[in-house]
Amino acid sequence: MSRRDQLRVELGDRSYDIVVGSALLDDAGALIAPVVRQKRAIIVTDETVAKLHLDRLRAGLDKGGIAHQAVILPPGESTKDFAHFSKLCEDILGFGIERRTPLIALGGGVIGDMTGFAAATLLRGLDYVQIPTTLLSQVDSSVGGKTAIDSKHGKNLIGAFHQPVLVLADIDTLSTLPRRELLAGYAEVVKYGLIRDPAFYEWLETAGPKLIDGDIDARREAVLKSCAAKAAIVAIDEHENGDRQLLNFGHTFGHALEIETGLGDVLLHGEGVALGMRMAFDFSARLGLCPKDIPERVRRHYAAVGLPSNLKQIANARRMDAGVLVRHMAKDKKVRDGRITLILSRGIGAAFIANDIERPAIEAFLADETGAAVH
């Protein structure tokens, strides 16, 4: 059998395992059977993933004696709305489920977040298994129990904390992922090194390009390390009152860019995060908090793998305005009493939570950034 590794997210009686490796879909039945309370499951997936990977999951469940039915949603972020959520819930209830019937999320973060939220609310709480199929969902969204759908007022504003009972990160599924999606997920991998683990970041500086080009061992190692990092943080701060905020490194700047570019294909979430992390380093250096050569080192790595470093690499960066970006940042759901919380850095692996940065300093920095975008 090909190599498999197992990690545990320690959350008392809600603890669960993350399995990372190859051919997990083929053995899904055997892997899932010990953690579910009924030999029957409802699979939730999207059309793209269904075409590529659903048959293998179905066969894997058959082999393990787990009966299954599937709900197939349209792909993309626009599916994460009330209308699709409502239909998803009605479809699942239409199958005549019981409280012991588990859901299985097969797909990227959109499917994981929606299935998790359905599991949190249907019959006041069902078990669910995450089978993430994008790099982003394998290293980030499938672990930690944050579930949500979007509102017209913003992304992920309607949701719940609800932990899965198992996560199966099948590295093989990444082989069908478009390169741009892979890179977007890779930004979250880099994040774990940048916030807390300089040795991991150094390893990525060498292994990153081959990981992107398809090296299975590098992918498995990176997913494993990333999940371990996230699991450790979630175990000490499940509801994001303290250390879990570090995982938002790059996200406050990045989120403002995402909103400004329309929360769509112009700038993928991971691309926004990559830009946001680079900006957080430059801003930290400008405030004298971080050595000046660090942002350059990060830029070099981005260039080596193909991630964007500069706003001018975004299609319509010309229209960005520093004041507007700061207002987007101030609307982030992590804002407390109107103060923008930024995650800043003292160097590679040394991120920290900064609550005391004045808005004019942020705006002046963004004015330079957006100015730099148009020359």
Ligand X SMILES: NC(=O)c1ccc[n+]([C@@H]2O[C@H](COP(=O)([O-])OP(=O)(O)OC[C@H]3O[C@@H](n4cnc5c(N)ncnc54)[C@H](O)[C@@H]3O)[C@@H](O)[C@H]2O)c1
Looking at beta carbons, which residue is closest to ligand X?
109
- Report whether 44 contacts 105 (CB < 8 A): yes
Bridge partner residues of 339 (DSSP) = 336
- Report whether 126 contacts 101 (CB < 8 A): yes
Closest CB to ligand X among residues 40, 80: 80
Alpha carbons within 13 A on the beta-carbon side of 21: 16
Bridge partner residues of 275 (DSSP) = none
Binding to ligand X (CB under 6 A) within 149-178 occurs at 155-156, 173, 176-177
Q: Which residue bears the tokens 């050569």?
A: 293
- Report whether 153 contacts 138 (CB < 8 A): no
Q: Which of 188, 260, 271, 369 is catalytic?
A: 188
Examine the residue annotation and report whether 87 is marked as an active-site residue of this protein.
no
Closest CB to ligand X among residues 155, 328: 155
Pairwise CA distance, residues 165 & 25, whole Å: 16
Examine the residue annotation and report whether 124 is marked as an active-site residue of this protein.
yes
Q: Which residue bears the tokens 């992390």?
A: 277
Q: Which distant-in-sequence residues (6+ apart) come within 8 Å of 306 by Cβ?
A: 179, 183, 212
75 binds ligand X (CB under 6 A): yes
187 binds ligand X (CB under 6 A): no
Examine the residue annotation and report whether 205 is marked as an active-site residue of this protein.
no
Kindly state the smallest distance separating residue 108's Cβ from ligand X, in Å.
Answer: 2
Examine the residue annotation and report whether 328 is marked as an active-site residue of this protein.
no
Q: How many helices (H) and strands (E) does the chain have?
A: 14, 11
Kindly state the smallest distance separating residue 278's Cβ from ligand X, in Å.
Answer: 19
| Binding range to ligand X, per CB under 6 A, among 7-15, 34-42, 140-148, 272-280 | 140-148
Binding to ligand X (CB under 6 A) within 247-306 occurs at 269
Q: Which of 53, 196, 225, 251 is catalytic?
A: 251
Alpha carbons within 13 A on the beta-carbon side of 341: 19
209 binds ligand X (CB under 6 A): no
Examine the residue annotation and report whether 191 is marked as an active-site residue of this protein.
no
Q: Which residues of this chain interact with ligand X, rule CB under 6 A?
A: 46, 48-49, 52, 75-77, 80, 107-111, 113, 133-134, 136-137, 140-141, 144, 146, 155-156, 173, 176-177, 181, 269
Q: Give the residue numbers annotated as catalytic, written as ranges.
A: 124, 146, 188, 230, 240, 244, 248, 251, 255, 269
